[in-house]
Structure 1
């Protein structure tokens, strides 16, 4: 039994009704969070109280160990309510699932994370990108450095796109040691450690409340056992693990499927309520709007089928056959959710682009799906080389 097995994590209710309740509660705060850009504490508390922030904690650590499909269902529901909250949650669930699959945290540090998660929202995120390097999925090594001390390390450097911001209970930071033979890996840093400064750089088109700011580490003290080296490739080269999508990477597109659902709902509500004087009836009664609604439904259905079909096959043991196609499947989901929201906005014209209508926000949010690795061009090149045998 591990030390963390003494912590009992409640099993959340992930029935359709329970998730719909969480979606509605998040939606009540989503517009305000989007406008202020502040840490979405109201949304995070809603998710925490529903027990969803720790849903993927492994059974060995006293958790519910929620599976692939149900975790995606959770994230679709959260994305439909507030995608900014859903992104922070997705990163947290991914970290817990990774620990369940291959334990690598020191037991007392992970137990501390779980205890924080019982007391309140305790997000955690892998922080990799840097201002000069960009997203490491394209290659390269970090400039963020670990320097050995008598009792551990100090961490120094600047990171970009650190989703979660000051809400993070732990940072999982991609860094390189300054040893004679440098090693690359992730270091576990409590969010309240000294030497951490947040730079409010996030002024983005979408997911504005995700607090994906820059963060600076200035000789931040880190325990010796908090550094975990990542595996080298067969050629001896370090590569960021996010560059090769695993099945759990599908939890990111899941939240955008939720945002596409929200855009569908917003379009339907407008079409039912809008009664032009010349028509004398809701525009929903016209064949043009009915055709648009059908196109939106087509795109949402396609995204859902790709998402849940892929995860169901993985849970059924078909992951090895799926793995080469994961990148292009994620890209296809991205295309579908963007098309769903774009179609809705295009059909409504100015009202769909007004900040007085939620469709504008849904479109901005779904556009962010394209930035998650692997990006579509890289996935298609890899797929093309595979099928061509070159």
Structure 2
């Protein structure tokens, strides 16, 4: 594996870093306080114009075609400035990739340009349910054929960008008699479809600028051609796309961890105690050394997973390893950063308090750390 980034990848990384510093960083605290939404949406439109809403989507459908490595690099840089924006971009890219992978040609041409161009501010991934989180095969949302239509009934939980997504990819049971996980299909449902209702945003601990909503389907009628991919084969699609999404969340965690560690380092170089900067004390030096080492290891794991995915190779286990390690390392890095700041690290005046809240969810969503360990262990034991 050649770790040298191409000119295009370096350009995307630089563009993402520059945009994040100029446009996202100044609005992150406002979003955390429930403000700055207008700027948030303006930034999403700008990111779409820069090509960041379809980084791994073919140019024929309005995407950048830059690949999975560029996607990981971009999400990391965006997350260093604003986790809420980064997760919106990450999930929207994941939905676009689902459509590109399994949708019909007509479906791709109908929805991908709208996602990539920013006509849709975001796109939603409707898999999780109140009773089916780590085990999506237990979902109860159903789709019943009625003439030339499908009727959706059920509910989805914790849907990123639910209240402003233009289109949703929705999983539902289409064969109740099939073994668990075998009778699930995948559908494309537009935001304004009758019978689709988005509930109030969740009151979350962190990443408050990213709306997370329940989505309800009450006799929601969609056309027959809203089915995406093969009938009763949607569960396999979900598992495959979750693996790609884990590269995005691992990259997001890496960005937050780097932001926290960089801030703690700068603070330690300026803060004086006992007549000298606290960065001169070995205890704090080792904390910084451990954080930077773990985050660099996380970066390499993420690059490996992205490299394998981009080359069309099996990558699910590597994506789980990268997601597990990156999110856990980033959580440790944020807590170490808070410790270095002392009491200031617990104060909302300083960004470490927000980083610690924003990073916490990364070891939970897109598959908890425990689920990642199960995937990794099963893969190892099968060899």
TM-score bucket of the superposed structures, by smaller chain: 0.7 to 0.9
Unaligned runs of 5+ residues in structure 2 are 1-7
Residue 210 of structure 2 corresponds to which residue in structure 1? 210
1:209 counterpart SS class: coil
Query: Given the superposition, is the C-alpha separation of residues 315 and 239 from structure 1 closer, same or farther in structure 2, using an over 3 Å criterion?
Result: closer
CA distance in 2, matches of 1:183, 1:310: 30
Residue 176 of structure 1 corresponds to which residue in structure 2? 173
Residue 302 of structure 1 corresponds to which residue in structure 2? 297
CA distance in 2, matches of 1:179, 1:301: 46
**What does 1:361-380 correspond to in 2, within 5 Å?**
361-380=354-373
**What does 1:327-338 correspond to in 2, within 5 Å?**
327-338=320-331
Is the 2:173–2:184 contact (alpha carbons within 8 Å) kept by the matching residues of 1? yes
Query: Number of residues paired by the alignment?
Result: 370
**What does 1:250-269 correspond to in 2, within 5 Å?**
250-269=247-266
Query: Given the superposition, is the C-alpha separation of residues 127 and 230 from structure 1 closer, same or farther in structure 2, using an over 3 Å criterion?
Result: farther
Shift of 1:211: 0.9
Residue 129 of structure 2 corresponds to which residue in structure 1? 130
CA distance in 2, matches of 1:257, 1:189: 32
Residue 8 of structure 1 corresponds to which residue in structure 2? none
Residue 35 of structure 1 corresponds to which residue in structure 2? 33
Shift of 1:336: 1.4
1:284 paired with 2:243, answer: no
CA distance in 1, matches of 2:157, 2:317: 29
1:129 counterpart SS class: coil
CA distance in 2, matches of 1:44, 1:369: 21
CA distance in 2, matches of 1:130, 1:351: 38
CA distance in 1, matches of 2:155, 2:311: 41
1:166 paired with 2:157, answer: no
Residue 346 of structure 1 corresponds to which residue in structure 2? 339
1:148 counterpart SS class: strand
Residue 7 of structure 1 corresponds to which residue in structure 2? none
Is the 1:244–1:374 contact (alpha carbons within 8 Å) kept by the matching residues of 2? no
Query: Given the superposition, is the C-alpha separation of residues 385 and 169 from structure 1 closer, same or farther in structure 2, using an over 3 Å criterion?
Result: closer
Shift of 1:252: 1.8
Unaligned runs of 5+ residues in structure 1 are 1-10
Deviation string 1:230-282 (CA, Å, 9 cap, x unpaired) is: 6768xxx9567338853453122111111111112221232233345x52x44
CA RMSD of aligned residues (A): 3.1
Query: Given the superposition, is the C-alpha separation of residues 196 and 206 from structure 1 closer, same or farther in structure 2, using an over 3 Å criterion?
Result: same
Q: TM-score, normalised by structure 2?
A: 0.84
Q: Which moved more, 1:342-351 or 1:371-380?
A: 371-380
Is the 2:91–2:125 contact (alpha carbons within 8 Å) kept by the matching residues of 1? yes
CA distance in 2, matches of 1:215, 1:245: 19
Query: Given the superposition, is the C-alpha separation of residues 244 and 172 from structure 1 closer, same or farther in structure 2, using an over 3 Å criterion?
Result: closer
CA distance in 2, matches of 1:15, 1:328: 25
Is the 1:354–1:360 contact (alpha carbons within 8 Å) kept by the matching residues of 2? yes
1:349 counterpart SS class: helix
Is the 2:53–2:117 contact (alpha carbons within 8 Å) kept by the matching residues of 1? no
**What does 1:92-111 correspond to in 2, within 5 Å?**
92-100=92-100, 102-105=101-104, 107=106, 110-111=109-110
Residue 3 of structure 1 corresponds to which residue in structure 2? none
CA distance in 2, matches of 1:75, 1:45: 16
Is the 2:177–2:183 contact (alpha carbons within 8 Å) kept by the matching residues of 1? no
Query: Given the superposition, is the C-alpha separation of residues 171 and 105 from structure 1 closer, same or farther in structure 2, using an over 3 Å criterion?
Result: farther
Residue 359 of structure 1 corresponds to which residue in structure 2? 352
Is the 2:250–2:322 contact (alpha carbons within 8 Å) kept by the matching residues of 1? no
Deviation string 1:62-91 (CA, Å, 9 cap, x unpaired) is: 432121111100111111121111111111
Q: Which moved more, 1:201-210 or 1:370-379?
A: 370-379
Query: Given the superposition, is the C-alpha separation of residues 105 and 353 from structure 1 closer, same or farther in structure 2, using an over 3 Å criterion?
Result: farther
Query: Given the superposition, is the C-alpha separation of residues 103 and 13 from structure 1 closer, same or farther in structure 2, using an over 3 Å criterion?
Result: farther
CA distance in 2, matches of 1:387, 1:177: 33
Is the 1:45–1:121 contact (alpha carbons within 8 Å) kept by the matching residues of 2? no
Query: Given the superposition, is the C-alpha separation of residues 335 and 77 from structure 1 closer, same or farther in structure 2, using an over 3 Å criterion?
Result: same
2:66 counterpart SS class: coil
Shift of 1:362: 0.7
